[in-house]
Amino acid sequence: MRSSSLGYPRIGGQREWKKNLEAFWAGKRSKTDFLQEQKSLRLSYLQKQQQLGLDLIPVGDFSDYDHVLDTAVAFGIVPERFAYAGGKVEEETYFAIARGTDDAVAAEMTKWFNTNYHYIVPELTASREPALVDNRWLRLYEEAKSELGINGKPVLLGPVSFVKLAKQYGNKSFSEHVQTLVPLYGQVLAELAQAGAPLIQVDEPILAGDVTEAEWAVVEETYQSLAKLAPNAKLLLQTYFESVADYNRFIQLPVAGLGFDFVAGKEETFQNLRVNGFPNDKLLALGVIDGRNIWRTDLTAVNAELKEVLQVVERERLILQPSSSLLHVPVTVQSEEKIADELKEAIAFADEKIIEIVSLAKVVNGHEPPSLLEASKHALGRLNASEARNNQSVQQEVAQISSEDPSRGLDAPTRAKLQAAKLKLPLLPTTTIGSFPQTKEIRKKRLDWRKGKLDSAGYETFINAEIDRWIAIQEQLGLDVLVHGEFERTDMVEFFGEKLGGFQFTTYGWVQSYGSRCVKPPIIYGDVYFKQPMTVKETVYAQSKTDKPVKGMLTGPVTIYNWSFPRADITEGEAVNQIALALRKEVLALEKHGIGVIQVDEPALREGLPLKRAKWQSYLDQSVTAFQLTVNQVKPETQIHTHMCYSDFQDIIEAIDGLDADVISIEMSRSHGELISSFEEYTYNKGIGLGVYDIHSPRVPAKEEIARNIERALNVLHPKQFWVNPDCGLKTRQEPETVAALKVMVEAAKEARQTLETKTI
């Protein structure tokens, strides 16, 4: 039996990767120095995995931005607007696709399945044939071999999943797009096999979702073709995030090995192994350690399960690994010095998960006694018995939910009339999503305050000055509903977790969200409860500085759950409802202090959908209930907003409607307005803002671009419904570009408003 991993975190224990990227983008580091530092980081990660004792070390999983984008540019798949002339894609073009330029809009970015990682969506057209312009997997395999003596396991995103995750334009079908790529993949695999790669991991995560008959036919044809094109390549076909859609079909594919997530969908996979067996000519790779959450695994329980697995597959054909790439967890818990021992001993980040895998393999192979595995069981048991996980007050409050009516009483149109009379907003009201740029000075002041170098009074004075300045900027720009700017906040989830009971925070627990954007998810380790007001002080202060309405800004319960590392000892529904009941107290506190517009953001609602549609409704019902619990006790005159971003909303439009928010803002700019089609087919009677420009690119949009987006939306939505706003918060942008972009946005909205006011509405 061998130990393996599907991928390792890119960002580094101290975010060295992020710092290198941003220095290069800012012109502070030459391309040569940037590439050399990337290589040093890449090799150091491989060396660490080698030192931890991993048998099959993944190579090629390292990326300069995103692994899906890596796959696209390796095959010369570059959107036409970037004026690509062929050949190896240089870093400047690579980053332009991801971030945009003054002349070209960035490629769309969306969620990687049901995670908080975002990938760059490839754009497939019929006008340019893909070509293998850079066998990056061979390059990185040979680098590991020559520099470190590591005969690694190359990791590729498979052709079927790549096309499935891409935008497909032109007259080519899904099948034809895949067929176009198959010879190129065949060349990659053949060259890797010739170079000596012992096993090649080909990820096909879409096979763990809903797969149609036609798609299965494409999968079968693809891997039959690859077996002929690269007969010496030993492929490990890898799935994750759920059980395989059609087990019997999957195990018949002509590959050397098959990889299963043995955490998510474990029951289905286990049952299939018991009932249907496993081919005697294939390797079985089992993801027995949770690659997405940070808790230690009860290795004694896994060891018992493996004894049953070994009745189906002999030990020599078994590979133990995490359930997914470790991209989704921080690097190591060893750097965390502020976490109490009782909790810290129950946590495992990437390095610790590799140690778990290696230890488990040693026990199963008979090289270590089973007692080596007992520490994890005892650590988890101590945490489960702790006072933090047995808060009777919280548990009683959750138990009473079933007797509560989650609705707001009055229907949305009736509430809208009351809110219009109170707020007196113009047609096409303008607003932002909530955050404004966090400058180096803001971050330094926060750090000084946290370290005790700046007292609380001095810090509050500084934050109030920033609020004063940005309230004035918003009024000068002519925005209609203002925000206080969130200058006191770090991450939108971390901020609330710090102020709620039941959360723990890390010092270096960073994970990649998109590009160089890293987040530090809180750990939900105990029952969640409200301690004291969290946002009231700054919001009320901002409202005192203007006659225009200022939105209270909260992160919603589903997003806090999905963007945290949640508990594994209670159900998701129970945990989300605990958060909702705590946030409700904050919503009511804002209303009590005169805040008449309150935004409860749920950007992560869509990403939490299970991969299989059959499991959707339960999740959506649970999410809608939690949102309603958060806001259902406010007065009908209080306008509730929510925000979502970077997802395919067409599939969940009914659930979005069911939230019963008075106004929802949704990303539209990167999806080039395709979301609007949802509202052509679904009657939506509430306020809606379809983000009219992309904040993830530093470029300032032209007024004509925003005007087109507004016009496109008004072809479907009634003018009295439509709000004009950016597609996301502005925290990561620079101040000059933010002000310039908002100025353009407001001017475009005013011109559209004037045009509409000449008509009868």
Binding-site residue numbers for L-methionine are 433-435, 486, 601
Q: Beta-carbon neighbour count of residue 238 at 10 Å?
A: 30
Q: Give the pair of three-digit tokens for residue 124.
A: 């497939």
Enumerate the known binding-site residues.
15-18, 111, 116, 433-435, 486, 517-518, 563, 601, 607, 643, 645, 667, 728
Q: What is the DSSP string of 331-398?
A: S-GGG--SS-HHHHTTB--HHHHHHHHHHHHHHHTTSS-GGGGHHHHHHHHHHHTSGGG--HHHHHHH
For residues 102-127, b (16+ Cβ closer than 10 Å) or e, as one string? Answer: eebbbbbbbbbbbbbbbbbbbbbbee
Contact status, residue 8 vs residue 45, Cβ threshold 8 Å: yes
Q: Which residue type is seen at 156?
A: L
Could you give the 3-state DSSP secondary structure of residue 621? helix
Enumerate the known binding-site residues for L-homocysteine.
433-435, 486, 601
β-pair partners for 510:
none
Q: Beta-carbon neighbour count of residue 191 at 10 Å?
A: 18
Q: Which DSSP letter does residue 482 get?
A: B
Number of residues in the chain: 761
CA distance 11 to 326: 11
From the list 177, 484, 641, 696, the catalytic residue is 696
Enumerate the known binding-site residues for 5-methyltetrahydropteroyltri-L-glutamate.
15-18, 111, 116, 517-518, 563, 607
Could you give the 3-state DSSP secondary structure of residue 663? strand
**Separate counts of helices (H) and strands (E) for the chain:** 27, 22
Q: What is the DSSP string of 557-577?
A: HHHHHHTSB--SSS-HHHHHH
Q: Beta-carbon neighbour count of residue 444 at 10 Å?
A: 12
Enumerate the known binding-site residues for Zn(2+).
643, 645, 667, 728
- Give the helix ranges, DSSP H, for 563-702: 572-592, 616-631, 653-658, 677-681
For residues 553-581, b (16+ Cβ closer than 10 Å) or e, as one string? Answer: bbbbbbbbbbbbbbbbebebbbbbbbbbb
Pairing of the two strands 663-666 and 687-690? parallel
CA distance 471 to 451: 28
Q: Is the dihedral of CA 568, 570, 574, 578 positive or negative?
A: negative
For the purposes of burial, counting CB atoms within 10 Å of the CB of 629, is it exposed (0-12), middle (13-18) or buried (19 or more)? Answer: buried
Please identify which residue in the block is written with the tokens 């019902």: 621
Q: Give the pair of three-digit tokens for residue 539.
A: 């919001």
401-408 LR contacts (CB < 8 Å, sep 24+): 401/577, 401/581, 401/625, 401/629, 404/629, 405/632, 406/625, 406/628, 406/629, 406/632, 407/628, 407/632, 407/660, 408/628, 408/631, 408/632, 408/634, 408/636, 408/660
CA distance 358 to 352: 10
For residues 467-486, b (16+ Cβ closer than 10 Å) or e, as one string? Answer: beebbebbeebbbbbbbbbb
696 counts as catalytic: yes
Q: Give the pair of three-digit tokens for residue 343.
A: 């909790």
Distances, alpha carbon 315 to alpha carbons 65, 257, 388, in Å:
37, 14, 41
CA 176 to chain centre: 30
Q: Which residue type is seen at 468?
A: D
Those residues with Cβ within 8 angstroms of residue 8's Cβ, 6 or more apart along the chain or in another chain: 45, 49, 58, 61, 62, 325, 326, 327, 350
Task: Compute and round to an integer the Cα radius of gyration of the chain.
Answer: 26
CA distance 209 to 201: 19
Q: Which residue type is seen at 21?
A: L
CA distance 633 to 585: 10
CA distance 50 to 470: 51
Q: Which DSSP letter does residue 323 get?
A: S
Residues designated as active site: 696
